[in-house]
Copies of this chain bind each other. A is one copy, B any other.
Amino acid sequence: MQLSELKQKFEQFLKQKGYKVTKSRLELIDKIASYGSHFEIEQLVVWVSNQDKGVASRSTIYRTVKLLQEFGAIREVIKLGNRTIYEFIAGKPHHEHLICVKCGKIIEFYREDIEEIQDKVCEEYKFTPLNHRLEIFGVCSECSYSVV
Protein backbone atom coordinates (compact mmCIF):
# COMPACT_ATOMS: atom_id res chain seq x y z
CA MET A 1 0.00 0.00 0.00
CA GLN A 2 1.14 3.51 -0.77
CA LEU A 3 1.79 5.76 2.16
CA SER A 4 -0.60 8.34 0.77
CA GLU A 5 -3.32 5.76 0.49
CA LEU A 6 -2.68 4.65 4.05
CA LYS A 7 -2.94 8.20 5.30
CA GLN A 8 -6.20 8.62 3.47
CA LYS A 9 -7.58 5.51 5.08
CA PHE A 10 -6.40 6.71 8.45
CA GLU A 11 -8.26 9.98 7.91
CA GLN A 12 -11.40 8.03 7.13
CA PHE A 13 -10.85 5.93 10.22
CA LEU A 14 -10.49 9.01 12.39
CA LYS A 15 -13.59 10.68 10.99
CA GLN A 16 -15.64 7.55 11.30
CA LYS A 17 -14.64 7.26 14.94
CA GLY A 18 -15.40 10.89 15.64
CA TYR A 19 -11.74 11.71 16.19
CA LYS A 20 -10.02 14.67 14.64
CA VAL A 21 -7.59 14.74 11.75
CA THR A 22 -4.67 16.66 13.18
CA LYS A 23 -1.27 17.68 11.91
CA SER A 24 0.51 15.60 14.58
CA ARG A 25 -1.36 12.48 13.69
CA LEU A 26 -0.63 12.70 10.01
CA GLU A 27 2.97 13.68 10.47
CA LEU A 28 3.57 10.87 12.89
CA ILE A 29 2.57 8.35 10.25
CA ASP A 30 5.24 9.82 7.98
CA LYS A 31 7.82 9.67 10.72
CA ILE A 32 7.02 6.11 11.65
CA ALA A 33 6.99 5.03 8.03
CA SER A 34 10.38 6.55 7.41
CA TYR A 35 11.86 5.25 10.64
CA GLY A 36 12.13 1.69 9.42
CA SER A 37 9.90 -1.25 10.01
CA HIS A 38 10.65 -1.92 13.68
CA PHE A 39 10.81 0.66 16.41
CA GLU A 40 10.50 1.31 20.11
CA ILE A 41 8.55 4.27 21.40
CA GLU A 42 11.42 5.90 23.24
CA GLN A 43 13.56 5.83 20.08
CA LEU A 44 10.74 7.46 18.23
CA VAL A 45 10.34 10.16 20.87
CA VAL A 46 14.03 11.01 20.77
CA TRP A 47 14.22 10.93 17.00
CA VAL A 48 11.10 12.98 16.49
CA SER A 49 12.00 15.60 19.05
CA ASN A 50 15.41 16.08 17.46
CA GLN A 51 13.80 17.09 14.21
CA ASP A 52 13.61 20.74 13.15
CA LYS A 53 10.19 21.32 14.57
CA GLY A 54 8.71 19.12 17.23
CA VAL A 55 6.10 17.08 15.45
CA ALA A 56 4.61 15.78 18.67
CA SER A 57 5.32 15.49 22.37
CA ARG A 58 5.96 12.26 24.20
CA SER A 59 2.33 12.01 25.35
CA THR A 60 1.02 12.59 21.88
CA ILE A 61 3.32 9.93 20.53
CA TYR A 62 2.10 7.41 23.09
CA ARG A 63 -1.49 8.34 22.36
CA THR A 64 -1.01 8.19 18.61
CA VAL A 65 0.72 4.83 18.73
CA LYS A 66 -2.34 3.48 20.53
CA LEU A 67 -4.57 4.97 17.87
CA LEU A 68 -2.51 3.48 15.08
CA GLN A 69 -2.71 0.10 16.74
CA GLU A 70 -6.47 0.43 16.90
CA PHE A 71 -6.43 1.43 13.24
CA GLY A 72 -4.23 -1.54 12.45
CA ALA A 73 -1.16 0.12 10.99
CA ILE A 74 1.01 -0.81 13.92
CA ARG A 75 1.46 -3.94 15.94
CA GLU A 76 3.40 -4.93 19.08
CA VAL A 77 5.54 -7.67 17.65
CA ILE A 78 8.28 -8.35 20.12
CA LYS A 79 8.29 -8.29 23.87
CA LEU A 80 11.76 -8.86 25.18
CA GLY A 81 12.39 -8.19 28.86
CA ASN A 82 10.95 -4.75 29.49
CA ARG A 83 11.21 -3.64 25.89
CA THR A 84 8.32 -3.49 23.45
CA ILE A 85 9.15 -3.44 19.78
CA TYR A 86 6.48 -2.22 17.40
CA GLU A 87 6.21 -2.82 13.73
CA PHE A 88 4.76 -0.68 11.02
CA ILE A 89 2.66 -3.21 9.15
CA ALA A 90 0.62 -1.07 6.78
CA GLY A 91 -0.34 -3.48 4.07
CA LYS A 92 2.39 -5.96 4.88
CA PRO A 93 1.23 -9.56 5.02
CA HIS A 94 1.26 -11.22 8.41
CA HIS A 95 4.52 -12.82 9.49
CA GLU A 96 6.47 -14.01 12.51
CA HIS A 97 9.88 -13.10 13.91
CA LEU A 98 13.26 -14.54 14.75
CA ILE A 99 15.08 -12.34 17.24
CA CYS A 100 18.81 -12.56 17.81
CA VAL A 101 19.39 -12.14 21.53
CA LYS A 102 23.00 -11.13 20.94
CA CYS A 103 22.79 -8.39 18.32
CA GLY A 104 19.08 -7.67 18.30
CA LYS A 105 18.65 -8.45 14.63
CA ILE A 106 15.08 -9.20 13.63
CA ILE A 107 14.29 -11.62 10.82
CA GLU A 108 10.76 -11.89 9.46
CA PHE A 109 9.30 -15.10 8.12
CA TYR A 110 5.95 -16.40 7.11
CA ARG A 111 4.59 -19.92 7.28
CA GLU A 112 1.13 -20.71 6.10
CA ASP A 113 1.04 -23.73 8.38
CA ILE A 114 1.14 -21.56 11.50
CA GLU A 115 -2.15 -20.03 10.46
CA GLU A 116 -3.56 -23.49 9.92
CA ILE A 117 -2.41 -24.62 13.33
CA GLN A 118 -4.02 -21.59 14.89
CA ASP A 119 -7.31 -22.36 13.19
CA LYS A 120 -7.26 -26.00 14.25
CA VAL A 121 -6.35 -25.29 17.85
CA CYS A 122 -8.93 -22.53 18.14
CA GLU A 123 -11.62 -24.72 16.70
CA GLU A 124 -10.77 -27.43 19.18
CA TYR A 125 -11.12 -25.04 22.12
CA LYS A 126 -14.01 -23.02 20.66
CA PHE A 127 -11.75 -20.01 20.89
CA THR A 128 -12.13 -16.99 18.62
CA PRO A 129 -8.65 -15.81 17.64
CA LEU A 130 -7.99 -12.09 17.24
CA ASN A 131 -4.29 -12.18 16.60
CA HIS A 132 -1.21 -14.15 17.43
CA ARG A 133 2.49 -13.65 17.85
CA LEU A 134 5.24 -16.21 17.44
CA GLU A 135 8.65 -15.10 18.64
CA ILE A 136 11.66 -17.34 18.21
CA PHE A 137 14.57 -16.14 20.32
CA GLY A 138 18.03 -17.35 19.50
CA VAL A 139 21.35 -16.49 17.92
CA CYS A 140 21.73 -15.42 14.31
CA SER A 141 24.33 -16.83 11.95
CA GLU A 142 26.67 -13.86 12.25
CA CYS A 143 26.62 -13.89 16.01
CA SER A 144 27.12 -17.61 16.26
CA TYR A 145 30.59 -17.24 14.73
CA SER A 146 31.75 -14.94 17.45
CA VAL A 147 33.04 -16.66 20.56
CA VAL A 148 31.62 -14.05 22.88
Measured CB to CB, the residues of A under 8 A from B are 79, 98, 100-101, 107, 109, 111, 113-114, 117-118, 121-122, 124-141, 144
Residues of B within 8 A of A132 (CB): 134-137
Report the minimal beta-carbon distance from A35 to chain B, rounded to whole angstroms. Answer: 22
Q: Which of B107, B122, B135 contacts A136 (CB 8 A)?
A: B122
Knowing A118-B136, A121-B111 are in contact, say whether A101-B130 is a contact too (CB < 8 A): yes
Task: Work out how many copies of this chain go into the complex.
Answer: 2
> Of all chain B residues, which has the CB nearest A130?
B138
A141 touches B113 (CB 8 A): no
A139 touches B130 (CB 8 A): yes
B111 touches A117 (CB 8 A): yes
Residues of B within 8 A of A129 (CB): 98, 136-138
Give 21 CB contacts A-B under 8 Å: A98-B125, A101-B130, A107-B127, A109-B121, A109-B125, A111-B117, A111-B121, A113-B117, A114-B114, A114-B134, A118-B136, A125-B140, A125-B141, A126-B140, A127-B136, A127-B140, A127-B141, A131-B137, A132-B134, A133-B133, A133-B137
